């Protein structure tokens, strides 16, 4: 990882704990904040937003991906950083793994954040081997 990408990741990790307060987790009380870093080095943030008509809420990763698409530019994810209000190491749910797969680059990583610092790094494709994605429709 280059020094610039390393700094970008560290800066995004520091932002996530503050975003947890913006999460709308009225029902589960399980707050999550995520950052998607695209291959152009832009950071897009999201939080989970629950709904009384459970399970129609949105996950933090889904919200961050939506922000990436809305911003325009690259639609290729380099990293997904995730922090939970419980300070647990969390991984994307199954639905979010599929959402990430839609845009994940070959070297995409899922990065766990605790207390504003990176604590665990996982190759995304190891979380969703043999996935179905855009390449299957081309």
Question: CA 94, CA 128: separation in Å to the nearest integer?
Answer: 9
Q: What letters, b where the CB count within 10 A reaches 16 and e where it falls short, cover 114-134?
A: beeebeeebebbebbeebeee
Whose CA is closest to 111, among 88, 84, 91? 91
61 is catalytic: yes
Please pick, among 61, 106, 109, 120, the residue that the annotation labels catalytic: 61
* Residues classed as catalytic: 61
């Amino acid at each position: 990882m280059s020094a610039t990408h390393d700094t970008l990741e560290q800066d995004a990790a520091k932002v996530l704990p503050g975003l947890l307060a913006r999460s709308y987790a009225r029902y589960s009380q399980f707050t999550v904040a995520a950052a998607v870093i695209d291959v152009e080095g832009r950071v897009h943030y999201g939080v989970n937003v629950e709904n009384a008509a459970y399970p129609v809420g949105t996950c933090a990763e889904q919200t961050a991906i939506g922000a990436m698409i809305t911003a325009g530019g690259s639609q290729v994810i380099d990293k997904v950083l995730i922090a939970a209000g419980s300070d647990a190491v969390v991984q994307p749910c199954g639905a979010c793994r599929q959402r990430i797969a839609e845009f994940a680059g070959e070297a995409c990583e899922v990065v766990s954040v605790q207390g504003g610092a990176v604590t665990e790094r996982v190759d995304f494709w190891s979380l969703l081997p043999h996935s179905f994605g855009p390449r299957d429709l081309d």
